[in-house]
Amino acid sequence: MLVELFYELRHYGLKVGPQEWLTLMRALAMGLHDSSFTTFYNITRALLCKTENDYDLFDQVFAHYFKGVEIKAAALNEEILSWLKEAQGFLDLSAEELAAMEHLDLEELMKQFEERIKEQDERHDGGGKWIGTGGRSPFGWGGSNPTGIRVGGKSMGRSAMQVAMMRRFRGYRTDLILDIRQIKVALARLRELTREGTTAELDLDATVDATCKNAGELELIWRAPRKNNVRLLLAMDVGGSMDPHSRLVSRLFSAAYSSRHFKAFEAVYFHNCIYDEVFEDAAFRKPISVDDLLQKHGSETKLLVVGDAMMHPVELFQPHGAIYYMQFNARPGIDCLERLTDHFTRSAWINPEPERYWRHPTVNGVRQLFPMFPLTLDGLNSAVSSLVKGPVRRPAVA
């Protein structure tokens, strides 16, 4: 019967594959569910849900499959819910009055609840029978009944036997700030495995093919081993408006610096905009000319720039507009950035500022050259995809 659950999960959009399903079957064969339905549920959810975002839908499908609950019938009538937005007519009952109220078991409570839904045709407050607010009724919210089914509102007395099926929870967010582990997982997708070096590895498939074509006489085929060939250049804006984001950018730098997924990695610093040079250190004591940087890194190197891209428009669009008085940039900053995008085949810009602040002239100017993504989990994954598969369509600039 469990095979039908597999197809039910896939039907409602959960990407459950044969590998996950066979793993679940092995777990059940080993008795890891401990003959407990609750443990079976926990194991099933752990093995079949790929992300936390799948939990809510999985719970609905699971309940539908094993309890016969219709998913589409989970929401209550909107008209009834509108009656329950505000509680009116609170009662202050004594302990004796509360004890005298009828205590119903769950089966009887559900039966009466379904009858009330069919019969009720108007709002009720302060009563003892209908679904409403306040009063002594076991159905609704804001009243004084010691048990019952809460419909609408929020928990007050914490004595409800059940809460009517109102699945209005917030899904797990993927736009929260990143920790180092999350960044490492995202950056790991940058790996490019290519075969380089001497032919020291036996190619088993090619050997079998060659031997078959050679009438069964063994012919060994050798190949070069696969090695990670990704090269990453990380350019980071530092100081000024980037100070509030220093901890978050430090996490990104720490993850990239300690990652083992790069054949070559280099990090450089700049302030506001890259002009004719960048720096090895945040104190700007060790300059590197952009000419030398481009000569060192070929077009196959992936360029990842981190900065808020917010500056005075003069800094980006006019010669000699660099914020430092003694720095005379012969070409506008936008031209220097365009030089980078022309050189590197794959580049992306990570902006730690929320996207609602991107309606800024210099941010829009940078977005004309670089695919720009927020420094969130979703944003970093999108940036990595852009660096791996090529630039995605740049967002429309307002």
Give CA–CA dist 243/308, Å, rounded. 11
Give CA–CA dist 192/302, Å, rounded. 11
pLDDT tens for 331-369 read 899 999 999 999 998 899 999 999 988 989 999 999 999
Name the CATH architecture for the domain at 229-389.
3-Layer(aba) Sandwich (3.40)
51 or 104: which carries more pLDDT confidence? 51
pLDDT tens for 238-270 read 888 888 888 888 888 888 877 777 788 899 999
Q: Where are the domains of the chain?
A: 2-73, 89-163, 195-228, 229-389
The percent of residues above 90 in pLDDT, for the chain, comes to 17
Give CA–CA dist 29/27, Å, rounded. 5
Sheet holding 231-237, edge to edge: 287-289, 277-279, 264-270, 231-237, 302-306, 346-351, 372-374
The percent of residues above 70 in pLDDT, for the chain, comes to 64
Structure tokens of 157? 């007395």
How big is the chain by its Cα radius of gyration, in Å?
31
